[in-house]
A and B are shown apart, each in its own frame.
Chain A
Amino acid sequence: MNSEFDNALAKVTEDTFASMAFVLPLGEQDGGEDDAPPQTSASIRFSGPFGGSLTLSVSSRMVAILADNILGRAERGSASPEEQQDALKEILNVICGNLLPRIATPSDMFHVSQPRFLSSGDAAESFVDGTLAAAIAVRFDCGRANLSLYLDRPATVSAA
Chain B
Amino acid sequence: MSLNILIADDSIITRAVIVKILGLIGIELGEIHQATDGRQALEVLDRHCVDLAFVDINMPAMNGEEVVEAIRSNPLWADLPVAVVSTEGNEERIARLLSMGVKFVHKPFTPEAIRKAVSELIGTTHELRV
Contacts and interface: CB of A to CB of B under 8 A. Distances in A.
A54 to B, nearest CB: 12
Given A90-B11, A93-B11, A106 B58 contact: no
A107 B11 CA distance: 26
Interface of B: 10-14, 16-17, 20, 58, 60, 86-93, 107-108, 110
Contact of B87 (A71, A82, A83, A93): A93
Interface in A70-88: 70-72, 82-83, 86-87
A106 B91 contact: yes
9 contacts: A16-B108, A72-B17, A87-B13, A90-B14, A93-B107, A97-B87, A98-B89, A106-B91, A112-B87
A20 B93 CA distance: 24
Interface in A107-152: 107-110, 112, 114
A86 B13 contact: yes
Contacts of B107: 93-94, 97-98
A98 B58 CA distance: 13
Interface of A is mostly: helix
A19 interface: yes
A100 interface: yes
A87 B81 CA distance: 27
A101 B58 CA distance: 16
Contacts of A97: 58, 86-89, 107
A13 to B, nearest CB: 12
